[in-house]
Structure 1
Amino acid sequence: MDIYLHFKDQAAEAITYYEKVFKTEPAKIMTFGDMPHDDEHPVDENMKDLVMNSNLKINDTNVMISDSPEGMAPPLIIGNNVALVFNAASVEEATEIFQLLAEKGIVLLPLEKTFWAELYGMVKDRYGVVWHINLY
């Protein structure tokens, strides 16, 4: 299980801060500008340098960090900027867990293939906990 922290245009600053605090190796960072080009969903110039995803290792925990630009992510409210990440072992496991979490919850991003994962989706469960479901 991993942890995901979302920020409003401060992810790069937060990453640098946490690297210093926890004396970690430099995080692996992908910006929105690093995404493959998509004519149907072009990346706004103002977002190209924002962090789309990063992975910071603190002890044995993966702490993923990203910016949450308006229109590309659910609105960021301090308190909902922490999510739990479940890394599934199979399509069946990812699908079952996603569907169970979605019961009486809200699908924020449907479970589907992305350029970084075989399956990825985001769901807020019935208790308000946000989950990222991954299958790499």
Structure 2
Amino acid sequence: MDIYLHFKNQAAEAIAFYEKVFKTEPAKIMTFGDMPHDDNHPVDESMKDLVMNANLKINDTNVMVSDSPEGMAPPLIVGNNVALVFNAATVEEASEVFQLLAEKGAVLLPLEKTFWAELYGMVKDPYGVNWHINLY
């Protein structure tokens, strides 16, 4: 299980801060500008340098970090900017976990194929906990 932190245009600053505080190796960072070009979903010039995903190791925990620009992610509210990440082993496991978490909860991003994962989705469970479901 991993942890995911979301920021409003401060992810790079937060990453640098956590690297210093926890004396970590430099994070692996992918920006929105690094995404493959998609005519149907162009990336606004103002978002190209924002962090789409970064992996930061703190002790034995993988802490993933991203910015959440408007229109590209659910609205960011302090309190929903932390999520747990479940890395599934199979399509069936990813689908089952996603569906069970979504029952009486809310789908934030449907579970579907992305350019970085076989399946990825975001869901809020009935207790208000945000989850990212991955299948690499």
TM-score range, shorter chain: over 0.9
Report the TM-score, using the length of structure 1 for normalisation.
0.99
Partner of residue 38, structure 1? 38
AA in 1 matched with 2:24: T
Task: Read off the aligned partner of 2:88 and give its amino acid letter.
Answer: A
Specify the alignment match of 2:125 in structure 1: 125
Shift of the alpha carbon at 1:133?
0.1
Match of 1:83 in 2: 83
**Post-superposition shift, 1:19?**
0.3
Q: Which runs of 5+ in 1 are unaligned?
A: none
1:6 aligns with 2:21: no
- Residue 67 of structure 1, CA deviation: 0.2
Query: Aligned ranges for residues 1-136 of structure 1 at < 5 Å?
Result: 1-136=1-136
Instruction: Give the TM-score normalised by structure 2.
Output: 0.99
Q: Could you list the per-position Cα deviations for residues 79-111 of structure 1 after superposition, in whole angstroms to 9, with x for gaps in the alignment?
A: 110000000010010000000000011100000
Q: Deviations over 1:32-58 (max 9, x none)?
A: 000000000000000000000000000
Deviation above 6 Å: which 4+ runs of structure 1? none
Aligned length: 136
Question: How far did residue 62 of structure 1 move?
Answer: 0.3
TM-superposed CA distance for 1:112, in Å, is 0.4
2: CA distance, partners of 1:84 / 1:62: 11
Distance 1:109 1:80 in 2: 14
Amino acid at match of 1:94: A
**CA shift for structure 1 position 131:** 0.2
The letter of the residue matching 1:75 is P
Segments of structure 2 that go 5 or more residues without pairing to the other structure are none
Q: CA RMSD in A?
A: 0.4
- Cα offset, 1:117, TM superposition: 0.3
Amino acid corresponding to residue 62 of structure 1 in structure 2: N
